[in-house]
Chain A
């Protein structure tokens, strides 16, 4: 053997050994896209998606509607944040929607969309969404995809465990994340948390015809953090379940101080019992100031009213409304199975997922199988209410939804995966990675009595390398998985607006059947509506100038206005005379400090304009409406405050003629 061959043999041996060693690195789950994924998400041009997905925009304060399975963004519905694109929160009609007891708050942190329910099924009437920061609940009308009502929630420190609705939308609940001092004495040391801080869980009554919301009663509950909630259904109809953390009642460095106890709580609320107490007059009216803003589809305008009191029930005095169930470490989701029997609690820091039995819970309450009290609330023995635990589910279980075949899907934030398990045996049957750090997840109809199933959507917190980079600030995203088979299959990543905190999805026909295409002009009751060109006019009242203007393809009337003076406040009330689907008109005027308008057929919207200098100011339509859109323009002439130029206006033959300003 030549030295050369010997040498190469040695090298080969080293190479083999190295390969074998590095090959020992445990394999990670990898993105496996099965061959027909593209086919499953392809919705051909002109074809419609199967499912509507309503995802909150998180810190964007809005809601976005997506088509599933394509992941196409259909519409951003402005809710808590101003939206200059269509004037939401800027126009004279919509400004009032953002009024609160803290003033005009043009933004919020929107977390949990909730579709209204009838008999435990999504009914396509309304979508509720919580404003987390300045506690509010909004109601969106799904016929118009417009926010119609925003109700402020008093005595709340942060409206997080909201807005979950009962089986027939009898109530929408709004629970506080932060317990705070409430009542007369709120200026107290923060260290007095245990004595002075309370939680407040509001039960908001929903009018079944119009959807109008009113706080029916508020439960004053122990001072901890209320995280999420879910309504009972079927056998557990009449109950609501809240997850609670910080049972340590810490007020600083919660990261550590609220993570000490082995168990926090699920709070079971018997709201039927609360109703009985209200009927018996056991509620106490507490003074509170909170705003109630309603948008009227007939006047196309919002009005704020200030509510002055709220009816409260104190759980320290009325002891059989609420019960605590111990639950391992900082539970997030408290989710109820389709039959209403199982309550799945996901402890963010827990090693197991406890599943409680509604039957066992009510038996334990009846037999008083309690483990003492927490702030006057009976604590049910853990084992007495437990159906069983899902063992080794993964790390950081957050939230669970259900499919139509008896399986549950739990999101795992820390281990970044979805875990599928069988509800009756609590046995894990599949797991699939998400990219990255899934928060909530959404099964189509996943909180219904009869889930639609088919897809689970992961709502992720981190995107990193999944899309073309856009600097440090990246898009957030959702992921679509097919769950029709035994194994979950990743189909699609799609970017979202803001943070897709949570989403609800339902079959398209549930929403489509109620869709409105236009607003009927004949039903427009806006006080400044001009329903035809003969009704257009310009009226001065002191320094206020009102313009009754119409828009129709392809002109504005009037389109020449003279006699506006410096220092005037001009209100352009623009009515879109069109009665055809998808023919909005826009309105914009040079130097408008607030917004432009986007006016739907049959609607009237108003922009306030305060010109700062003399001159001739162009205005025009901003929505490309027709072949003559670019001709849809006009002029407003602004003269000096002491000018003699008369107030004249018109369009075509009626336009003002030859008015020379006197020097």
Chain B
């Protein structure tokens, strides 16, 4: 690995510590009665913010109550992130490209799996409604957006990564970039080696 790549790996691994300190994702809801907005913050092991208020409002449409303790994801996440930090540090220490590629692939897989899981969870909450709900709008589901804004009846729902989330996403993208750079430089080196040997051959000829 290049020296700069190696340092970046270290920075990325350490940056992910932020997931333990800051919220990872934020879902916001705005309505005429809530100009100040309601916010739910997804932490590494909990959901905080106006969860009770959101649960209170969701009873009209028969949405399930959100309880942090029911999420397996929130139990696994602290260990997963710890693993990625550890693996990153190992990569830095061993200065191994193979480890770097493995790390990158795992991080990418984690990112994609996370997004899919989040989407499925949103789908479940938005569609799996109590048939006894007081307000039933034909054809209406209440799935929040994966990323960005979406109007759900009187609420404008927004879904965005929070600081802790960015502190994981940035390392994933950076790891990906480092891997590409390293791959390219490998090719370059191979190419140079190749041209050096052909030169030698030429000389020898």
Q: B56 touching A628 by the CB < 8 A rule?
A: no
Q: A628 touching B52 by the CB < 8 A rule?
A: no
Number of interface residues of B (CB under 8 A): 8
Interface membership of A300, Cβ < 8 A:
no
Interface membership of B135, Cβ < 8 A:
yes
Using Cβ atoms and an 8 Å threshold, which residues of chain A touch B60?
553-554, 626-628
Using Cβ atoms and an 8 Å threshold, which residues of chain A touch B134?
554, 627-628, 631
Interface membership of A578, Cβ < 8 A:
yes
Which of B50, B53, B56, B135 lies in contact with A627, CB distance below 8 A? B135
The dominant DSSP class at the A interface is: loop
**CB proximity to A under 8 Å, residues B71-103:** none
Q: A579 touching B53 by the CB < 8 A rule?
A: yes
Q: B53 touching A553 by the CB < 8 A rule?
A: no
Q: A579-B52, A579-B53, A580-B53 are in contact. Are A553 and B135 (CB under 8 A)?
A: no
Using Cβ atoms and an 8 Å threshold, which residues of chain A touch B59?
553-554
Q: B56 touching A578 by the CB < 8 A rule?
A: yes
Interface membership of A552, Cβ < 8 A:
yes
Q: List 22 A-B contacts (CB under 8 A).
A: A552-B56, A553-B56, A553-B59, A553-B60, A554-B59, A554-B60, A554-B134, A578-B56, A579-B52, A579-B53, A580-B50, A580-B52, A580-B53, A580-B56, A583-B56, A626-B60, A627-B60, A627-B134, A627-B135, A628-B60, A628-B134, A631-B134
Question: Shortest CB–CB separation between residue A228 and chain B, in angstroms?
Answer: 43
In Å, the complex CA distance between A626 and B59 comes to: 11
Which residue of A is nearest B134, CB measured? A628
In Å, the complex CA distance between A484 and B135 comes to: 55
In Å, the complex CA distance between A530 and B134 comes to: 25
**CB proximity to B under 8 Å, residues A546-560:** 552-554
Which residue of B is nearest A579, CB measured? B52
Digitize B122-137: 1 where CB-to-A-CB distance is under 8 Å, 0 elsewhere: 0000000000001100
Which residue of A is nearest B132, CB measured? A652
- Residue of B56, B60, B135 with most partner-chain A CB within 10 A: B56
**CB proximity to A under 8 Å, residues B6-37:** none
Using Cβ atoms and an 8 Å threshold, which residues of chain A touch B56?
552-553, 578, 580, 583
In Å, the complex CA distance between A498 and B149 comes to: 50
Which residue of B is nearest A578, CB measured? B56
In Å, the complex CA distance between A99 and B134 comes to: 46
**CB proximity to B under 8 Å, residues A564-612:** 578-580, 583
In Å, the complex CA distance between A627 and B56 comes to: 12
In Å, the complex CA distance between A554 and B60 comes to: 9
Which residue of A is nearest B50, CB measured? A580
Using Cβ atoms and an 8 Å threshold, which residues of chain B touch A627?
60, 134-135
Using Cβ atoms and an 8 Å threshold, which residues of chain A touch B50?
580
Question: Shortest CB–CB separation between residue A554 and chain B, in angstroms?
Answer: 7
Question: Shortest CB–CB separation between residue B136 and chain A, in angstroms?
Answer: 13
Digitize B35-74: 1 where CB-to-A-CB distance is under 8 Å, 0 elsewhere: 0000000000000001011001001100000000000000
Which residue of A is nearest B36, CB measured? A581
Using Cβ atoms and an 8 Å threshold, which residues of chain B touch A583?
56
In order of increasing CB-CB distance, the 4 nearest A-B pairs are A580-B53, A579-B52, A628-B134, A553-B56
In Å, the complex CA distance between A631 and B50 comes to: 25
Digitize A622-658: 1 where CB-to-B-CB distance is under 8 Å, 0 elsewhere: 0000111001000000000000000000000000000
Using Cβ atoms and an 8 Å threshold, which residues of chain B touch A554?
59-60, 134
In Å, the complex CA distance between A631 and B59 comes to: 14
In Å, the complex CA distance between A215 and B11 comes to: 65
Which residue of A is nearest B59, CB measured? A553
A580-B53, A627-B135 are known contacts; what are 16 more A-B pairs with Cβ within 8 Å? A552-B56, A553-B56, A553-B59, A553-B60, A554-B59, A554-B60, A579-B53, A580-B50, A580-B52, A580-B56, A583-B56, A627-B60, A627-B134, A628-B60, A628-B134, A631-B134
Using Cβ atoms and an 8 Å threshold, which residues of chain B touch A553?
56, 59-60
